[in-house]
């Protein structure tokens, strides 16, 4: 069997950080020396694991037989014909077990935690997507799992809360502050600090201090590696553009990493512009953010005059984050990737169009990338193509969409 090193599958040095964890000017190590030492241990354990054929074989086995990889690459002929320009293709991460790409890195993080002899994995969750994926991996691999979630989010995200309970994780309701994601992060961090030696903090995107951005990117790069092989087999060429929605940036960097060494392929990230870029209700971090520091790393950031993260908005809770992964900040600076945005209304439209023309109900997060393809394809030729990452399925969003659109 040809088992590849997940980091090696990112074919280009542009996405490998320096020894301190900086991608260009972005990312970097945590300040706190005690936590810094523990994170350095995680980075070292990751390198040893990645070089171990037994670890790679276990990843490959679970990808194939549990997650259901490779996920298909699909030519959306109806949608392409409707748009009357470039061919639109989808990488179907929505067909993974648990319905999104997050399971890719959760399996990797939990395998690593177990190798390190940790007793529990810990995370915060906003809408519950990361919590469900982590609780799933923890159930599978037999390790204690603790998820911190704001009480306001718990009231809103009923099905995911039920899933986490059924999967057997310990759900910690967080009532402090506004009872939402940022408070859940603070609460999870307090719990981590009570027993950091026995706990693995499993971050849910390519965010946070080193080594998380490179670790999560490495586990997600399977998306781009597969997509490149599948698309080339199907068409004999590379896509003209690859596109993905950007919250923290993990599904986008996973897709990009398969194409970054092919300069003829355009890389496009789509941020949520919410009610509009001229309002204060959006989360278009790369489009409108300024350099800042939050949650232990340096990134473009939506911030107030004192450098504190601003409240952000997107109809897709998975995109609702005032920072963004350091790789994307670096790709933007280099001009290698382009970042655009889609509004809440464009995402709703794309959600309905994809459902009715292709029979695929996408996550509202993914619908932002679909909205970009619908807007962009008519400006391109029929012999050109856009490969869109469908990061997740929309089951979690159906009641909300019905209520919001008055259907
Ligand atoms: C969490 C989530 C996202 C956003 O996270 P990234 O790290 O930017 O990929 C996108 N799509 C789905 C379906 C998600 O669950």
The atom number, within ligand 1, closest to the CA of 393 reads 13
pLDDT of the residue at 208? 94
Decide yes or no: CATH 3.20.190.10 for domain 24-64+102-217.
no
Position 127 pLDDT exceeds 50? yes
> Residue of the nearest CA to atom 5 in ligand 1?
247
Read off the pTM: 0.95
Measured from the CB, is residue 249 less than 6 Å from ligand 1? Answer: yes
Centre of ligand 1 to C-alpha 1, Å, is 31
Q: Using one digit for the tens of pLDDT, what is the confidence trace for 298-322?
A: 999 999 999 999 999 999 988 988 9
Of the candidates 397, 317, 388, which has an alpha carbon nearest to the alpha carbon of residue 351?
Answer: 397
Fold for the domain defined by 69-99+221-405: Rossmann fold (3.40.50)
Poorest-confidence range of 1-10, 107-116, 298-307? 1-10
pLDDT over 70, % of the chain: 97
> CB–CB of 377/387 below 8 Å?
no
pLDDT of the residue at 319? 93
Asked whether this chain's domains 24-64+102-217 and 69-99+221-405 adopt the same fold, the reply is yes
Annotation says 102 is catalytic? yes
Reading the block at residue 311, the tokens are: 């409240």
Q: Predicted confidence band at 6 (pLDDT cuts at 50, 70, 90)?
A: very low
Measured from the CB, is residue 312 less than 6 Å from ligand 1? Answer: no
Centre of ligand 1 to C-alpha 317, Å, is 9
φ and ψ at 401, to 5 degrees? -70, -40
Position 178 pLDDT exceeds 90? no
Reading the block at residue 50, the tokens are: 């990645």
Measured from the CB, is residue 365 less than 6 Å from ligand 1? Answer: yes
What residue has token string 């999967």?
A: 167
- The domain limits of the chain are 24-64+102-217, 69-99+221-405
Poorest-confidence range of 108-117, 188-197, 271-280? 188-197
Q: Predicted confidence band at 183 (pLDDT cuts at 50, 70, 90)?
A: confident
Annotation says 365 is catalytic? no
User: Any residues with CB less than 8 A from the CB of 194 and at least 6 apart, and which?
Assistant: none
Distances (CA, A) of 98 to 123, 225, 249, 362: 17, 21, 19, 14
């Amino acid at each position: 069997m040809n088992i590849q090193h997940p980091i090696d599958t990112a074919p280009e040095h542009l996405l490998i950080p320096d020894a301190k964890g900086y991608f260009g000017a972005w990312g970097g190590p945590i300040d706190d020396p005690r936590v810094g030492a523990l994170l350095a241990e995680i980075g070292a354990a990751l390198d040893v694991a990645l070089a171990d054929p037994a670890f790679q074989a276990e990843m490959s086995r679970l990808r194939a037989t549990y997650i259901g990889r490779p996920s298909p690459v699909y030519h959306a002929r109806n949608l392409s014909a409707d748009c009357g320009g470039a061919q639109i293709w989808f990488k179907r991460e929505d067909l993974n077990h648990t319905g999104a790409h997050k399971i890719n890195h959760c399996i990797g993080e939990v395998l690593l935690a177990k190798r390190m002899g940790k007793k529990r994995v810990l995370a915060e969750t906003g809408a519950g997507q990361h919590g469900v994926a982590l609780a799933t991996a923890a159930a599978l691999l037999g390790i204690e799992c603790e998820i911190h979630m704001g009480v306001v989010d718990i009231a809103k995200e009923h099905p995911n809360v039920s899933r986490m309970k059924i999967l057997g994780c310990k759900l910690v309701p967080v009532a402090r502050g506004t009872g939402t994601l940022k408070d859940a992060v603070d609460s999870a961090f307090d719990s981590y600090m009570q027993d950091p030696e026995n706990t693995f903090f499993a971050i849910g995107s390519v965010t946070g201090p080193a080594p998380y951005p490179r670790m999560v990117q490495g586990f997600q790069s399977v998306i781009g590696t597969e997509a490149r092989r599948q698309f080339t087999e199907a068409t004999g060429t590379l896509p003209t553009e690859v596109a993905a929605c950007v919250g923290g940036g993990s599904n986008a960097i996973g897709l990009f990493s398969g194409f970054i060494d092919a300069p003829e392929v355009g890389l496009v990230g789509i941020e949520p512009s919410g009610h509009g870029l001229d309002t204060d209700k959006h989360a278009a971090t790369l489009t409108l953010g300024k350099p800042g520091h939050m949650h232990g790393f340096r990134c473009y950031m939506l911030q107030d005059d004192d450098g504190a993260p601003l409240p952000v908005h997107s109809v897709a809770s998975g995109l609702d984050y005032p920072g963004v992964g350091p790789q994307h900040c670096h790709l933007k600076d280099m001009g290698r990737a382009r970042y655009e945005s889609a509004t809440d209304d464009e995402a709703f439209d794309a959600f309905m169009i994809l459902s009715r023309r292709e029979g695929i109900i996408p996550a509202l997060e993914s619908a932002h990338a679909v909205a970009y393809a619908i807007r962009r394809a008519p400006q391109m030729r029929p012999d050109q193509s856009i490969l869109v990452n469908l990061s997740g399925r929309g089951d979690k969003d159906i009641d909300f969409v019905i209520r919001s659109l008055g259907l």
